[in-house]
Structure 1
Amino acid sequence: MAASVLTHSVSAAGLPCARRTGLRCLSVSASRSRKQVPPPRQKKEPLEIPGLERITYAERGYYVPWLARPNFPEFRMDWNPRYYRSPPAQEMALYKEQPSYIFNPKCRLLGGVKQALWLTKSKLIEGLPQRIVTLSEDPAYTFPNHEELVHNAISNACLWSTTGEIREREEYCPKLLQSLLHLCRTQSCSYPSLTHRTFVDNWKLSTFWHKDSTIYHVRGTNSLLMSAKTPLDPLASSPEIQATEQHVLDSLYPLSPAIDLQEVNVYEERNDIGFKDGFPYPHLHTVYVTEPCDTRAKCLPDQLRAKMIMIAFGGAVAKAKILFGEDVKTLPQPIVVQSVGTDGQLFHFMVLQLNTLDLASNDGIKNIVWMDGDQALYDTVAFKPKIKRKVVLVPAGIAGFKPETFVKFWSMYLNGAV
């Protein structure tokens, strides 16, 4: 009986202790959590007493605890670019108070084609020019056996060189473009004028223009350019050019025309088309633009078409200033530049005719842009069929092949050679 009473008393006595211990632990942890972290200790500045010289261990070359710490000058490795530190922007030679806005190949215009048309003071015409349409419909300029050759080019780029389900876009997109250009180059024997062209990879461009008291630039390294010995002939006649005076540019309100452009204060108003003097192929023909394969820089189709307009316009402006002078406003002869953009499946075709460089206001003659976008070369490509519930969703191989898209590609390549 005594043992049972003792056990009961111990357990009864131990229970409040356990509760008190738990409450104490909670209170200690709560108090620790409420305890503020002390701020980092600031480095004290050495005390300087006028008339007294501090004795340091600098001459000894090693640490001495009873001597003061010396103040060594900051080490600067000027000969090594890795450790170079640029001066503040205000101290640079090219610093200007007025900011400038730069378009480079990594820019993605939020306004798309509408913003590019406002920046370039251009009028948009849906479809390709009549001259290129005539080349695509004329049986005399038909590409022989093009359906089988283009089908094999797509298979080579997407299927034949991989053992997986499908290749990455950064692999098949440039390979498909190079294969199509190689097919076009094989017709040089039938059209000797095609031999008067060359391709420039990583084409560099730098130009500028003034619009509404704002300075805009187009700079950067572009993917591929085809240049020729002779320029492209104008596509719009003089009455059509004069008719563009009645066109009104669309407003971007409430967006700023310079949205997504790089704002800088250190810049140089330089005009460089990327060719040295005496280059035998000085005239721009077609700029080939591929969608960035990096997911962080991926463009929507409308943004890719805007990029085509900006790069082609920059090249035309640079060429016009080289031919007619830096201060030219009314061009004696229009300049035509073509552009083809693709993401490996969709193709966009664009032709720009530069009629004027009087971009200070939105009145007067406008430049002209012909655009034929969202032209699919095929629908799907799959290494093996995709089946769900016994229904083939995606067949194996190439499905939905559209050879008429290559016909437009070939017509733009052939323009200026016949």
Structure 2
Amino acid sequence: MEKVPGASEPASPPRWHSRFHSLPAKHKPCIKPSTMKSSACSSAGLRQAQWLTKTKLVEGLPPAVQGIMDNPALGLQELEERAKHMVSHARLWDTAEAAPRRERYCPVLFENLIHICRLMSGKYPSLSKRMLARNCRVAATWERESILLQVRGLSGILMNSMSPIPPVASKEEILATKEHVLETFYPIAPTIDLQEVNVYKELNDTGFRDGYPYSHPHTLFFLESANVLTDRFRPEQLRAKMLMFAFGNALAKAKALHGNDPKVLEQPVVVQSIGTDGQLFQFMVFQLNTTDLVSNDGVKNLVWIDSDQNLYERAQCVPEVKKGVVTKPAGISGFQPDTFKKFLALYLHGTV
């Protein structure tokens, strides 16, 4: 249709606007918490994460996990050779490349180890009541000495279960944490490296809808698979990230179960975490004892950490030949079965 000069324009209906539209951002009440995101690096490392989460550190794994490793009736030794074979598959045989890149072999190794763990479901059927969730998000908000804090973002690969992990510390051990003194960073602010963001709603969200059958967080897995060293978290930074997101998942779950009022929990929430770059492993068990986090006094949370555990010493992808003689054959050397047992024990924890 051609437009005729001087003719009236056709009437067009006004755009429909809902009366229930939200307020513009500038009119909403805004808070600015210091936020820990999945991409944030903590320069102060684990000590900073301990202060932010009001947590006492215990070196090594808890007795409940150690007991699984030492139980000969479970037959964990029978799986050691299979685990070594899976390491060789990830590092040597999974691709036609002469030397697989870390971004390739790290996820493959994780899937291989999880596959071995799932073989135990024949002996323990309740292990089949687990679910792996990828790219799931968590949000947890709390106050610490008048500082509003938040954990938010992607929390690695999360394994959920239909039943929670039982508490690993007794009531006496929990009460004994009252005497523990948390380390400070004066004159450095404890929120260093945290990002201050505009938030229009304090959110505590597990990332799953009500009624989801696998509603209890069990273990978080963090894969540091970047090829470039500077793009990966250092072990100390990775442990801090593991603690913050284990705490975030536990706090969001505790508030969903018991409400937002600060309190010492009658039934502590336990969340585990495993981090790896495809060779070096970090193991963690976190127990949330209290949601009363404002003051340094009173009951503290607990975390057990077994750090810097090599699964193997070296992967020789291409044989080294000198003067026609093979000096270093291709293969995996220095395999550490205890590291695999720790991975498997954390998987079995809560069922065995």
**Does the Cα contact within 8 Å between 1:159 and 1:166 map onto a contact in 2?**
yes
**Does the Cα contact within 8 Å between 1:109 and 1:303 map onto a contact in 2?**
yes
Q: How far apart are 1:105 and its partner, in Å?
A: 0.9
Structure 1 counterpart of 2:206, one-letter code: I
Residues 1:361 and 2:295 are matched in the alignment: yes
Aligned to 1:152: 85
Secondary structure at 1:266 match in 2: coil
Distance 1:307 1:395, change over 3 A: farther
Q: How far apart are 1:144 and its partner, in Å?
A: 5.6
Gaps of 5+ in 1: 1-59, 61-88
Residues 1:372 and 2:306 are matched in the alignment: yes
> Distance in 2 between the 1:318 and 1:144 partners?
37
Residues 1:384 and 2:318 are matched in the alignment: yes
Taking the TM superposition and a 5 Å limit, the aligned residue runs for 1:375-414 are 375-386=309-320, 395-414=329-348
**Does the Cα contact within 8 Å between 1:123 and 1:367 map onto a contact in 2?**
yes
> Distance in 1 between the 2:99 and 2:29 partners?
49
> Distance in 1 between the 2:322 and 2:53 partners?
49
Distance 1:416 1:266, change over 3 A: closer
Taking the TM superposition and a 5 Å limit, the aligned residue runs for 1:34-73 are none
Aligned to 2:124: 191
Aligned to 1:24: none
**Does the Cα contact within 8 Å between 2:235 and 2:308 map onto a contact in 1?**
yes
Q: How far apart are 1:385 and its partner, in Å?
A: 3.2
Aligned to 1:335: 269
Residues 1:161 and 2:94 are matched in the alignment: yes
Secondary structure at 2:164 match in 1: coil
Structure 1 counterpart of 2:86, one-letter code: A
Structure 1 counterpart of 2:222, one-letter code: V
Aligned to 1:320: 254
Q: How far apart are 1:104 and its partner, in Å?
A: 1.1
> Distance in 1 between the 2:329 and 2:54 partners?
46
Q: How far apart are 1:393 and its partner, in Å?
A: 8.0
Distance 1:168 1:267, change over 3 A: farther
> Distance in 2 between the 1:129 and 1:391 partners?
48
Structure 2 counterpart of 1:403, one-letter code: P
Give deviations 1:118-144, integer Å, cap 9, x for gaps.
100000000000011011001011236
Secondary structure at 1:171 match in 2: helix
Give deviations 1:47-101, integer Å, cap 9, x for gaps.
xxxxxxxxxxxxx9xxxxxxxxxxxxxxxxxxxxxxxxxxxx97262533xx311
Secondary structure at 1:202 match in 2: coil
**Does the Cα contact within 8 Å between 1:125 and 1:370 map onto a contact in 2?**
yes
**Does the Cα contact within 8 Å between 2:184 and 2:190 map onto a contact in 1?**
no
Structure 2 counterpart of 1:331, one-letter code: L
Q: How far apart are 1:188 and its partner, in Å?
A: 0.8
**Does the Cα contact within 8 Å between 1:339 and 1:349 map onto a contact in 2?**
yes
Structure 2 counterpart of 1:408, one-letter code: K
Task: Name the TM-score, length of structure 2 as normaliser.
Answer: 0.88
Structure 2 counterpart of 1:364, one-letter code: G
Give deviations 1:244-291, integer Å, cap 9, x for gaps.
111111112232211111111334211110111111111111111112
Aligned to 1:258: 191
Residues 1:180 and 2:116 are matched in the alignment: no
Secondary structure at 2:243 match in 1: helix
Secondary structure at 1:265 match in 2: coil
Distance 1:172 1:93, change over 3 A: same
> How many percent of aligned residue pairs carry the same amino acid?
48
Q: How far apart are 1:322 and its partner, in Å?
A: 0.5
Instruction: Considering Cα pairs closer than 8 Å and 6+ residues apart, tell me whether 1 or 2 has the greater RCO.
Output: 2
Secondary structure at 2:156 match in 1: strand
**Does the Cα contact within 8 Å between 1:348 and 1:374 map onto a contact in 2?**
yes
> Distance in 2 between the 1:393 and 1:362 partners?
58
Secondary structure at 2:273 match in 1: strand
Structure 2 residue corresponding to 1:281, chosen from 214, 232, 248: 214
Please identify the structure whose Cα radius of gyration is greater: 1
Aligned to 2:174: 241
Give deviations 1:321-362, integer Å, cap 9, x for gaps.
011101132212111111111110011110011111111111
> Distance in 2 between the 1:401 and 1:343 partners?
16
Superposition RMSD in Å: 2.1
Distance 1:266 1:323, change over 3 A: closer
Structure 2 residue corresponding to 1:93, chosen from 28, 37, 41: 28
Residues 1:290 and 2:223 are matched in the alignment: yes
**Does the Cα contact within 8 Å between 1:380 and 1:394 map onto a contact in 2?**
no
Structure 1 counterpart of 2:30, one-letter code: Y
Gaps of 5+ in 2: 6-23
> Distance in 1 between the 2:117 and 2:138 partners?
26
Q: How far apart are 1:146 and its partner, in Å?
A: 1.5
> Distance in 2 between the 1:351 and 1:143 partners?
20
Aligned to 1:30: none
Structure 1 counterpart of 2:178, one-letter code: E
Task: Name the TM-score, length of structure 1 as normaliser.
Answer: 0.75
Structure 2 counterpart of 1:410, one-letter code: L
Count of residue correspondences? 329
